[in-house]
A = this chain, B = another copy of it.
Amino acid sequence: MAKRNAFYAQSGGVTAVINATACGLIETARRHRDEINTVFAGNNGILGALHEELIDTSQESQSTVAALRYTPAGAFGSARYKLKGLQENRAEYKRLLEVFEAHDIAYFFYNGGGDSQDTAHKVSQLGVTLGYPITCIGIPKTVDNDLPGTDSCPGFGSVAKYVAVSTREAGLDVASMAKTSTKVFVLEVMGRHAGWIAAASGLARELPGEPPHIILLPEIAFDRERFLGAVEQSVREHGYCVVVTSEGTRNADGSFLSDQGGKDAFGHTQLGGVAPVLARLINDQLGYKYHYAIADYLQRAARHIASRTDVEQAYAVGQAAVELALAGKNAVMPTIVRLSDDPYRWQVGEARLADVANVERTLPAEYITEDGLHITPECERYLRPLIAGEDYPPYENGLPRYARLRRFIVDKKLPPFEAQ
């Protein structure tokens, strides 16, 4: 087989471990130099392919590539950029293939969520149609844990661990001050359509009565009276209440709680933040002193408290992507297959891109308690192994020492791309 090049791109919201996937992919490709010449990474994801900005990863030292394993966020830049449908914008797909051809790229690795798997799938199909067949491998990545066909998604375990640890720690804080200070603490976490991240906070509870006392999920319509009743009961029984809410908590009519239509001092519609909405509701209806935190990017960037399981799986899918490609597979995605819960054992499997593209996996009903306000033991059994193990980055001067890349961009061979 002639030596050909590979293209790798990071897509969508970044995670604490997407670079561990890049590390697995690049290190594995380097072990197959007889088959893969150079791995080019897209500068800012798929935009790097469209605009022919290809980062030559062979310019990065072995130690820099190794450091990607413990470096959060997207080292090559990621992009929130969804290619349009083939009918609407065939030109973008065609351009991708032109760039791939110009740089002798035979392998396309796309590291992202559902949208990205869809894109990878389309590129694979169109390659055949346009006479430039290319091996397309999707690689799972999402903190939202909402990809089907895989037991878990690399990126989720680490944000889950961050949220569970933070809930336990902040819970101790609130408990120790509740007598004279804050009675209700609300932590807002990510998850617009699926409640996996909020659910993970439930792992912080070891004994009955421990935080979190209430978990709000997008899967369950917000019931104002039930919620307020549960808050009041928790304060009465335990002296305080810790609430963890998904950003996507919704009313029965499907509208987001965070979209309250209030106006700020500038007369603008109040944007974002379900935590302050809940906190004010509690204060208004029950009169309790409250505090709230919005973890936002801190949660998905928190490599310092990454799950070792997650790091290992993120690396493994990067490695498997190359191995699948070299084994002649196409339009597939490596997956995590769970073999047993306790002891937790897993292996890498594969799914067809056609089956995972654009499908969202939400929390199953049996993972949510009857009252809709907490997780079941079954859910804990599923989640527990995903946050297991620590994998600390190296520190220097009190701070994690993360990889610094050269990001050397190769010479362009094509005219600029004009978006349609």
Q: Does A142 sit within 8 A of B, measured CB to CB?
A: no
Closest to A295 in B: B293
Interface residues on A, range: 35 or more
**From B44, B180, B270, B298, contact of A44 by CB (8 A):** B180
A residues 232-271 with Cβ under 8 Å of B? 260-266, 268, 270-271
Q: Does A97 sit within 8 A of B, measured CB to CB?
A: no
Q: In the docked arrangement, what's the CA distance between A280 and B164, Å?
A: 30
Asked if A399 and B204 sit within 8 Å, CB to CB, the answer is yes
Q: In the docked arrangement, what's the CA distance between A293 and B126, Å?
A: 41
A338 to chain B, nearest CB (A): 16
Asked if A389 and B398 sit within 8 Å, CB to CB, the answer is yes
A47-B180, A166-B302, A400-B165 known; A265-B276 Cβ under 8 A: no
Asked if A265 and B271 sit within 8 Å, CB to CB, the answer is no
Q: Does A303 sit within 8 A of B, measured CB to CB?
A: yes
Asked if A296 and B291 sit within 8 Å, CB to CB, the answer is yes
- Give the most central of A78, A180, A291: most B CB within 10 Å: A180
**From B164, B179, B263, B298, contact of A263 by CB (8 A):** B263
Asked if B176 and A14 sit within 8 Å, CB to CB, the answer is yes
| Surface stretch bound by B, among A66-74, A84-92, A133-141 | A66-74
Closest to A390 in B: B395
Asked if A276 and B266 sit within 8 Å, CB to CB, the answer is no
| Surface stretch bound by B, among A100-108, A146-154, A167-175 | A167-175
Q: In the docked arrangement, what's the CA distance between A168 and B400, Å?
A: 8
A189 to chain B, nearest CB (A): 11
A300 to chain B, nearest CB (A): 7
A413 to chain B, nearest CB (A): 22
Q: Does A132 sit within 8 A of B, measured CB to CB?
A: no
Chain B hits for A203, CB < 8 A: 397-399
Asked if B295 and A44 sit within 8 Å, CB to CB, the answer is no
Chain B hits for A400, CB < 8 A: 165, 168-169
Asked if B284 and A266 sit within 8 Å, CB to CB, the answer is yes
Asked if A298 and B297 sit within 8 Å, CB to CB, the answer is no
A residues 349-399 with Cβ under 8 Å of B? 384, 387-390, 392, 395, 397-399
Asked if A181 and B80 sit within 8 Å, CB to CB, the answer is yes
Asked if B265 and A260 sit within 8 Å, CB to CB, the answer is yes
Asked if A170 and B297 sit within 8 Å, CB to CB, the answer is yes
Asked if B395 and A392 sit within 8 Å, CB to CB, the answer is no
A165-B304, A203-B398, A399-B165 known; A176-B77 Cβ under 8 A: yes
**Pairs across A and B, CB under 8 Å, 29 listed:** A44-B179, A44-B180, A45-B180, A72-B169, A72-B172, A72-B173, A73-B176, A79-B177, A80-B177, A161-B398, A164-B398, A165-B304, A166-B301, A166-B302, A168-B399, A169-B298, A169-B304, A172-B402, A187-B298, A260-B265, A262-B266, A264-B270, A268-B284, A271-B280, A272-B276, A273-B273, A293-B294, A295-B298, A387-B399
10 closest Cβ pairs, A-B complex? A74-B176, A293-B296, A387-B398, A73-B172, A169-B301, A260-B265, A262-B265, A262-B264, A173-B301, A44-B179
Given contacts A77-B176, A392-B392, 8 further A-B contacts (CB under 8 A): A13-B181, A44-B180, A47-B180, A77-B179, A164-B398, A168-B402, A169-B298, A169-B304
